[in-house]
Amino acid sequence: MQPSGAGVYSTSTKALSLAAGEEHRVLPPDLALALLVNRTANAYGTNPPAYIVYRETTRVAAPTLGRTQEIDRRVIARNADDAAVMDDIPGGAQRIGQAFPIIPYFDPFSQFYFSYYANLKRIDITLQRGMPMQLAIPPPNPDVDVVFAYLSFWSVSYAADSRPDRLHFSIVPTPRDGGGMYPSDVVEDPQTHLPAHIVLRDSSSDMTIAMDYSIVDGHWVITHGTFTATEHALFLTFVVTADVTYDEFSFPSAPPAQAAVLPPPTPSPMPSP
C-alpha cells in the first residue's frame, strides 16, 4: 500500500482540542483518522522488539473443495528482517524463512508490499514492511477556529456504530489511491487509542485481510487474523480462507538459542517514523 498524498489545513480564530479520544465529537473523520495513523506509527516505531516468540495456530480451507489444513507452530521471529524459525507442533518439521502467514508486528497503514500465491495444496505469502506513514497535521493555534481536513487518497467517514468511546472508520479509496490494498474498516481501542481491528481490501480483487490487535507486554501486535480470496486453478474457481491465532508471546532482547539457525540479518525494512 503506497498512498499518493494527503493534506490537512486550518483557518480562522480559536484553539481546537486534538486530545486522543475526543476526535469523534470535535473533528471530521479525515482528521480523526490522520491522528490515529500517526499514533499508530509512533507506537510501532518506538521500542520495536528485537525478537518475537509466539505460538501460531492456523487453519487453511477451500470449503467448496472440501479441503482443510491445520498448522500449529512455535515461531521465533527476528523482527528487523522478518526471518523466522518455525517448528511444527507437536514434533513436526522445522522451517526457516519469512514468518507465515505474516509476522504479528506489522503496521498496515505503512507503505508495505504484499503478494500471495495459492493453489490446491499451498499458500505462499510475501510481506515486505516499509516506512510507517506520518500525515501532516497543523499544531493547535489560538487563532484557529475551524480545521478542514482531507485525505486525497481515501474517502473517510464514521461508520454507523461509531461512538465517542469506540471510533469506527469506513474508508473507500479515491482515484488518487493508485490501486492495491487499503484499510476499509478501522476500529479504535478506547483504552490505548490505537487500532483494535483493521480490515484490508484489495481494490482489484475480492481479497480481504482482517486483523485484531492488542497490547502485549507493551508491544502492539496482531492476536488474530483472517485471509480470504477467490482463486482459479486447473479450470476451477474456489475461495481460499485462512484463520490464524497468535498467542503465548514473549519478546526477548537477546537471540534465543533456537535463532542460531537463522541467516545473518539483512538491512532492516522497519525504519522508525
> Residue 101: which of 231, 252, 211 has the closest Cα?
211
**The domain containing residue 111 runs over which residues?**
7-258
Whether residue 246 lies inside any domain: the answer is: yes
Does the CA dihedral 96-100-106-112 come out positive or negative? positive
Whichever domain contains 201, its CATH number is: 2.50.20
Statement: residue 222 has pLDDT above 80:
yes
In this predicted structure, what is the pLDDT of residue 271?
Answer: 47
Confidence of residue 183 (pLDDT cuts 50, 70, 90): very high
pLDDT of residue 147: 62
Residue 15: pLDDT over 50 = no
**Confidence (pTM):** 0.84
Residue 1: inside a domain, yes or no?
no
Domain-embedded: residue 143 = yes
Query: Does residue 264 form part of some domain?
Result: no
How many domains would you assign to the chain?
1
In a domain, 112, yes or no: yes
Residue 51 lies in a domain: yes
pLDDT at 142: 81
Residue 103's CB is within 10 A of a number of other CB atoms, namely 23
- Confirm whether 268 is domain-assigned: no
Quote the cell numbers at residue 201: 481490501
154 falls within a domain: yes
